[in-house]
Structure 1
Amino acid sequence: MAIVSLITSYHELNPSTIDELDGPPPALDFMRYVSRNRGFIVRRGAKDWDAVRKWDARYLREAMKGRHVKVAVTPHGNADAVVADEAGRLSFVEPYEVNEPFETFLSFVQEDSALQDRLPKRNVRYAQTQNGNLPFEYANLAKDVPTHIAFATEALGQDPDAVNFWLGNQRSTTSLHKDNYENIYIQVRGQKHFTLLPPIEMPCVNETPTPFARYRPASDDGEDLVVEMNKDIDPTPVPLWDPDEPEVRSTVYSKYSKPLKVTLNEGDMMYLPAMWYHKVGQGNGDEGFACSVNYWYDMDFSGSFWTSNAFVRDVYNASLKSVPYPTLDMQDEPEG
């Protein structure tokens, strides 16, 4: 069928690997990657950044002394993720958020990493506000990284829309999702483990309108979190399929997916193109935390890329015999 041909043809014409460059590319070479919607890694491409050289726990504590930050709290490290209740009903659950001193937050993350499996697990804390937080919430650290990525700003003709700071440990994960940004990602401490799917694999990921919810504390100490539905937000399509559990909530097209696995180490730089699906895990650095910075540049909605992705979605919907999206109660393979 046409969708199978589309996905398989894409993989025949594109490698199931990501390019590794010797150094940050000139603007023209970067634009070639943007035009093909293909990513790359520059190993140690940010090794000379002040952040990569300086951001150990002692430096971070001193630089951020006295400053409060917003922290995402979840029971399993699954912030912004699809969660099933006891009856198997799915919801897209956002984290409970608290404001606390940065020093308190960092100490919690490091202590949590040191516990390993010796004591019962605590809630997971993760700095992931994704709102351009570095120049504002983490302004005391902003001087240690460039305000923009020179080759990207020159090629795209714009400054980044947001520069974000992220800090957590190996228990924090990000479920499969996509962003309409050209993303330059720099790993500062620890590791980031990415699972990547190109936009053409939209029919594989089982995007389904899913009710929104949020974790909230059910006890005074805030440790017991429960899911509270948010009826003010209409259900929004989110991927229900996890490439690491390929038989669960799959579609008839999931078996044609060819996920890319990428690990970023300290000082590595990656370009993640707009609309690529990505699932993210972390590995602790020597001091029990992982830390990174990313630059979001607005994607270009002109040309054919955005509309072509919409067309793939419409063809997929038509293949489901007029069902706009797979429903939440479908089995592993929808009829199609």
Structure 2
Amino acid sequence: MESVRERLIRLSEEAHDYLGQSVPFLDAPPDPLLFYRDWIGPNRPCIIRNACSHWPALNKWTNEYLREKVGSKVISVAITPNGYADAVLGDRFVMPEERQMSLSSVLDIMEGKMKVGGVVYVQKQCSNLLQELPELTSDMEPHVPWMSTALGKLPDAVNFWLGEASAVTSMHKDHYENLFCVISGEKQFLLLPPTDRPFIPYGNHGNPHLTAHCIHGNHLQEGVYQPAVYHQRDDGAMDPHRPVGPRPDPLPSVPAGSSNQLHREGRRDVVPPLTVVSPRQAVTRLHRSELLVRHGLRHQV
């Protein structure tokens, strides 16, 4: 078991040495073939400056423009009491309340003109830009040509995200090549390479019982949590409620461990507790007109 621990730690250290302590910048969109060779193939993230500086959206997408163009459109909006979507609360893994409201109402809430009793975040995926706000597609390219050429396919989804600083996405992994382009404001990311997976206490979000983690003081609690969804009461407060349907049979919980000893899923006799020794790789800020390319890394935004 000691050799397993040492090899996993060594693998993580080598990955961090290979990736470096910061995400590299490119000053312009790359040649597709070279981009595939230097970044997609090696599975390395990068930030590309001026990648979308020619999009009209960078100059057009003000709150006033969005109100005039699509303010009356009703879209899907996530609402949480604290800005944390898909996160642990007590003994539950709580997902946001999804509400239908006009984009103008969302902007009013973000500007403090209207109260909703929680944090709003336009974060619905499944190509919500094309499905809910197709009027905005003329202000940008429907795909990034050099990336589509490098991958040999068009994007599976084009999403529109709108939120304030308190809106946070929990740590997760997407099984796609991801491109994040900031049109207005800035976005902060935390990236971890796949070799750090044994040190991250994560579970299978597709299971009706969700394994997750939550910090309690100086200890990290890992266990099995019942799914729940936030629901706003008549007095404006938000409570987590179980989804409608039969309650799944309980599963045994995972015992708590110290904050620097994180366990792998599954059998505890296969891989012993591991100590996190590698520094985290982070993108502190992604600014206007910059584009982040991310390849299957664990990330938090």
Q: Assess same fold via TM > 0.5.
A: yes
| Residue 26 (structure 1) shift | 1.0
**Aligned with 1:206 (options 178, 201, 213):** 201
Normalised TM-score (structure 2): 0.79
The match for 2:34 is: 29
% identical aligned pairs: 32
Number of aligned residues: 258
Q: Which runs of 5+ in 2 are unaligned?
A: 1-5, 204-209, 212-224, 251-257, 264-273
CA deviations over 1:240-275 (Å, ceiling 9, x no partner): xxxxxx9377452433242323311111111111x2
**Kept in 2: contact 1:96–1:214 (CA 8 A):** no
SS of residue paired to 1:72: strand
SS of residue paired to 1:260: strand
Structure 1 pair 8/65, CA: closer, same or farther in 2 (3 Å)?
A: closer
Counterparts of 1:55 and 1:105, CA distance in 2: 15
SS of residue paired to 2:16: helix
Residues 9-48 of structure 1: matches in 2 within 5 Å? Answer: 9-32=14-37, 33-48=39-54
The match for 2:144 is: 149
**Kept in 2: contact 1:64–1:102 (CA 8 A):** yes
**Aligned with 1:8 (options 7, 13, 28):** 13
Q: Look up the equivalent residue of 2:106 and give its one-letter code.
A: F
Q: Look up the equivalent residue of 1:256 and give its one-letter code.
A: S
Counterparts of 1:259 and 1:212, CA distance in 2: 31
**Kept in 2: contact 1:133–1:165 (CA 8 A):** yes
Pair 1:130 & 2:129 matched: no
Residues 186-197 of structure 1: matches in 2 within 5 Å? Answer: 186-197=181-192
The match for 2:158 is: 163
| Residue 148 (structure 1) shift | 0.8
SS of residue paired to 1:189: coil
Q: Which runs of 5+ in 1 are unaligned?
A: 116-120, 236-245, 281-336
CA deviations over 1:198-250 (Å, ceiling 9, x no partner): 111101211135235233325225x2111123466899xxxxxxxxxx93774
Q: Look up the equivalent residue of 2:144 and give its one-letter code.
A: I
**Kept in 2: contact 1:194–1:278 (CA 8 A):** yes
The match for 1:314 is: none
SS of residue paired to 2:112: helix
Counterparts of 2:248 and 2:34, CA distance in 1: 41
Counterparts of 2:41 and 2:52, CA distance in 1: 24
The match for 1:92 is: 93
CA deviations over 1:31-75 (Å, ceiling 9, x no partner): 121110001111232222111111001101011132101110000
Q: Look up the equivalent residue of 1:216 and give its one-letter code.
A: Y
Counterparts of 2:12 and 2:288, CA distance in 1: 34
SS of residue paired to 2:28: coil
Structure 1 pair 76/15, CA: closer, same or farther in 2 (3 Å)?
A: same
Normalised TM-score (structure 1): 0.71
Residues 1-336 of structure 1: matches in 2 within 5 Å? Answer: 1-32=6-37, 33-81=39-87, 83-85=88-90, 89=91, 91-111=92-112, 122-208=117-203, 209-210=210-211, 211-220=225-234, 223-230=236-243, 247=259, 250-251=262-263, 252-273=274-295, 275-280=296-301
Structure 1 pair 212/162, CA: closer, same or farther in 2 (3 Å)?
A: farther
Q: Look up the equivalent residue of 1:66 and give its one-letter code.
A: S
Structure 1 pair 254/233, CA: closer, same or farther in 2 (3 Å)?
A: farther
State the superposition RMSD in angstroms. 2.5
Q: Look up the equivalent residue of 1:157 and give its one-letter code.
A: G
**Kept in 1: contact 2:231–2:238 (CA 8 A):** yes
Counterparts of 2:128 and 2:281, CA distance in 1: 30
SS of residue paired to 1:107: helix
Counterparts of 1:36 and 1:253, CA distance in 2: 27
